[in-house]
A = this chain, B = another copy of it.
Amino acid sequence: MGEVKIIEIKKSVFADNEKDADSLRTELKEKKVFLLNLMSSPGSGKTTTLIQILNRIKNKVRVAVMEADIDGDVDAVKIKEATGVPSIQLHTGGMCHLDAEMTRQGLDNLNLEETDLVILENVGNLVCPAEFDTGATCNAMILSVPEGDDKPLKYPLMFSVCDLVLINKMDVLPYFDFNMERCKRFIQMRNANAQVIPISAKTGDGLDAFANWLLDRISEC
């Protein structure tokens, strides 16, 4: 269980990422594969959230995970061990984001014929990943309570490209100056259609709501 495949991602050769992302999205739709691109700051709890969600949905859909990181394979191993879900590690070689071609390099290492849902854990970064369309069916992000409710003001693009914002670490809300209503208002300013779900990956609170949101989206796809 302790070993996962590590893919060294190469720099893209395509000049027009948006076109390439659109064509990847079309291919995935034809293959009936839903690709969720999950983004956040470092340390917001992406991996713990993934473990919680995978254990809720893995018996309902066939899911695989791609963990993008600059270095290491800690996350992919952790996910495989905690959930049994097929996980591969993508090494970006220092690159701060993934684009569609780089995402495709990861997907080529999965068996898409037997997969309904691929979750891509993007590089921990609120800036660059928002600028590059990965070809995902849907973008989601995690903002954690300790980061502060003002983040939509400071990282506008990230919030405007995400259909779903998970507010994580709700269990420590009493210890931080984080105003949920203010945060929701700032998110709405960036993206009127974004859905907000408060969660605690530690306690599991809110994870059923996230699972239902995801399963609904997949069934519509």
Contacts and interface: CB of A to CB of B under 8 A. Distances in A.
A42 B153 contact: no
A71 B147 contact: no
Nearest to A148: B43
Given A42-B147, A43-B148, A146-B43, A72 B154 contact: yes
A14 interface: no
Interface residues on A, range: 20 to 34
Contacts of A156: 70-71
Contacts of A41: 41-43, 124, 147
A128 B172 CA distance: 29
B154 A94 contact: no
Contact of A96 (B96, B148, B169): B96
A32 to B, nearest CB: 33
Interface in A69-112: 69-72, 74, 94, 96
Interface string A34-48: 000000011100000
